[in-house]
Structure 1
Amino acid sequence: MDNSIRLLALRLFVRVAMTGSFADAARYYDLPASSVSRHIAGLERTLGQRLLYRHTRAVRLTDAGEHYFRDVQRVLDSLDLATEQVVGGAKRPQGVLRINAPVAFGRRHIAPLLASFQDEHPAVEIELTLSDAFIDPVQEGADLVIRVGVLSDSSLVARKLATQHFVACASPVYLKRHGEPHHPDELSEHNCLVYKGTRGVQSWYFQESESDQAQRYPVKGNLYSNNAECLVEAALQGQGIVLFPTWLVFDALRDGGLVPILKSYQALGEAAREGIHVIYPENRLRSSKVAAFLEHLFLAVGDLPYWDH
């Protein structure tokens, strides 16, 4: 196996390991699936080790494959970074920038920035993946991940984009029909539209002042969804009350489709105030395309996020 073929085989192996799919790797590199399988089989023969267990519906790594994948991924990342710096340098970001973000935040606040960013940096290709699942950037090969919510301890670099502010709100039609609650206890008498995602049902918290401890209030309603925008749309139609971050409902509040309630209380989605962070592996700090996008993102959002104006 010569060096060029071996490098392709390594890239194919990493992609299959990341996605668990030969078909995905074939689509990604625009190759026949049979070619992907042949390259990886050749790599296994060269190594004298089986790297993947192949099943009808799934592909998974062997123990040897797990160790090899981690090492190869680090080497390929370093190789790509070195190539980027030599060919493009800091003055000309280039290459593929892989970004992962939650569905609603990515659609509303990341996707609209891409055209202007790529106008400034035409040599950068972007692969944007939207998912509400928490991913490991190293495992998934992402350059940047937008993480909304409480940030767990991690060896990754984290940079805070904004503090997350929540608001409870409903349409004027709903409030005229059912009345406006003046204390969180009264929410039990209202139809609350509740987000139910990968971490379960979102709790509703309120506190009277910064010095008070946030208190959880039980809520229920006739609509639960793992898609926040569907719940916002239902609230706009007068179906019930929602509690969401301002970055999600700012336009509906601005246009008057939704109005804030319980304004003398601080609304929270967790017992502690949450943030919006950009996380990335430490070696991405040396990437000019990552640095350029971070600058573009933070400038667009602003010190006081535009959705909180």
Structure 2
Amino acid sequence: MHKNVNLLALRLFVRVATHGSFSQAAAELNLLPSSASRHIAALEHALGQALFTRHSRAVRLTDAGQRYYESIREAIEQIDQAGEHIGEEDEPRGRLKISAPPAFARRHLAPILMRFQERHPAVELDLWLTDTFSDPVEAGIDVSIRIGELNDSRMLARLLAIQSFVLCAAPAYVEACGAPQDPAELSSHNCLVYQATYGPQKWHYRSGDAPFVPVDAGGNVRSNYIEYLLEMVRGGKGIVCFPTWLASRYLERGELVPLLGEMTWALEPDALGIHAVYPANRQRSRKTQSFLQWLGESIGEPPYWDGWQRVAAAKPKPRRR
């Protein structure tokens, strides 16, 4: 390392390269943006290379900057992880960056994180809510919560829960339109469908251990915003096929009632897992492993949100019109 290159400048360089932003990188290291710019300028001077191309709205690595980033990123991460092991032997510390889908985070991850930080106050939490799957390594994310199919073989994954699904509607809808008694009857009901990036999600059902069968779920509402569909179904506007982690609190309160409960329902039968995904270089990170253990224990097996079934079993079944 060049004698004029300091560790703070290297940490800052990695964060600017990761986020494409001087201000965001400076905030993570408790620096003023002007101070961050001076550190990077000093690093470029020491190396004799321009590392970034500055634009009015973005910062991008030069070719030399990209090579330097790939050379030092893992070393800086290892140095930061080594710092976690100084001090109290069993106390995790440092910044923990987590990515999760907004709907899942609001209902389940937020209270789990609150209790985790109460238990481990030396951990600084950085929560990013997004439905898109960005590269955890490039984004500097320690743990990503992913629901559905996993397709990045570079990542390690811990299964947190198997998703269960429930067909449900508000009591007002059942009172007005009746409850379907067979999946084939759904074609004559108003089904509220989630619009994924590849198109509307298809509903599937099965009886017992039989293979899943797709069902015609047509209606007058599709949306890529699941909270909108939730408000529509609670307002008595139709039927949804929702994961129980989303619908459980409303089923417990009786705001929604399960339909065709003798069937097993799914949206993507081959991708039912909820996973915590993390880069291989986080395996020895105390804060990451402590959080993964806390997350698994908090969710439980089966997941705590599936307790709604005990409540629903005691309620009267929807009547057929």
TM-score by length of 1: 0.90
Secondary structure of 2:6's counterpart equals: helix
Of 232, 248, 251 in structure 2, the residue corresponding to residue 250 of structure 1 is: 248
Deviates further, 269-278 or 48-57: 48-57
| Change over 3 Å in CA distance of 1:125–1:26 after alignment to 2 | closer
Q: Aligned partner of 2:111: which letter? A: P
Kindly provide the CA deviation profile for residues 221-262 of structure 1, in whole angstroms up to 9, marking residues without a partner as x. Answer: 333333323321221111111111111111111111111112
Please say if 1:154 is aligned against 2:153: yes
Number of equivalenced pairs: 307
Q: Within 2, Cα distance between the matches of 1:201 and 1:163?
A: 22
Match of 1:107 in 2: 106
What residue number does 2:315 align with? none
1:168/1:241 contact within 8 Å kept: yes
The residue aligned with 1:187 is 186
What is the CA RMSD across the aligned residues, in angstroms?
A: 2.3
* Whole-Å separation in 1 of the counterparts to 2:2 and 2:270: 55
User: Percent of aligned positions with the same letter in both sequences?
Assistant: 49
Aligned to 1:284: 282
Supply the AA of the counterpart residue of 2:73.
Answer: Q
Q: Offset of 1:77 from its aligned partner?
A: 0.9
Q: How far 1:65 sits from its partner (Å)?
A: 2.4
For the residues of structure 2 that align with 1:64 and 1:202, how far apart are their CA atoms?
44
Unaligned stretches of 5+ residues in structure 2: 308-321
Aligned to 2:66: 66
The aligned amino acid for 2:21 is: S
Query: Secondary structure, in 3 states, of the residue corresponding to 1:297?
Result: helix
Query: Which secondary structure state, in structure 2, belongs to the residue aligned with residue 145 of structure 1?
Result: strand
2-side partners of 1:23 and 1:116: how far apart? 30
Report matched runs for 1:122-141 at 5 Å: 122-141=121-140
Deviates more, 1:277-286 or 1:58-67: 58-67
Which position in structure 2 is the counterpart of 1:209?
208
Deviation at 1:2, TM superposition (A): 8.3
SS in 1 for 2:57: coil
Cα contact 1:88–1:94 (8 A) shared by 2: no
Partner of 1:93: 92
Cα distance change on mapping 1:255 and 1:198 into 2, 3 Å: same
Partner residue in 2 for 1:231: 229
Q: Against the structure 1 CA distance between its residues 195 and 70, is the aligned structure 2 distance closer, same or farther, given a 3 Å change threshold?
A: farther
What corresponds to 2:272 in structure 1?
274
How far did residue 72 of structure 1 move? 2.2
- Does structure 1 conserve the Cα–Cα contact (< 8 Å) formed by 2:2 and 2:47? no
Is 2:15 the counterpart of 1:15?
A: yes
Aligned match of 1:169: 168
Closer, same or farther in 2 for the Cα pair 1:93/1:221, shift >3 Å? Answer: same
The aligned residue for residue 258 of structure 2 is 260
- The alpha-carbon distance between structure 1 residues 270 and 4, as it changes in their structure 2 partners (threshold 3 A), is farther
The answer to whether the 8 Å contact 1:184/1:217 transfers is: yes
- 3-state SS in 2 of match to 1:286: coil
**Is 2:77 the counterpart of 1:77?**
yes
1:216–1:271: 8 Å Cα contact kept in structure 2? no
Bigger drift between 36-45 and 118-127 goes to 36-45
- Secondary structure (helix, strand or coil) at the match of 1:167 reads strand
Per-residue CA deviation, residues 61-102 of structure 1 (Å, 9 max, x unaligned), is 23332232233221111001111113343x111111211111
TM-score by length of 2: 0.87
After TM superposition, give the deviation of residue 5 of structure 1 in Å.
6.2
Tell me which residue corresponds to 1:50: 50
- Which sections of structure 1, spanning at least 5 residues, go unmatched? none
Q: 1:68 is matched by which residue type in structure 2?
A: Y
C-alpha distance in structure 2 between counterparts of 1:21 and 1:231, whole Å? 35
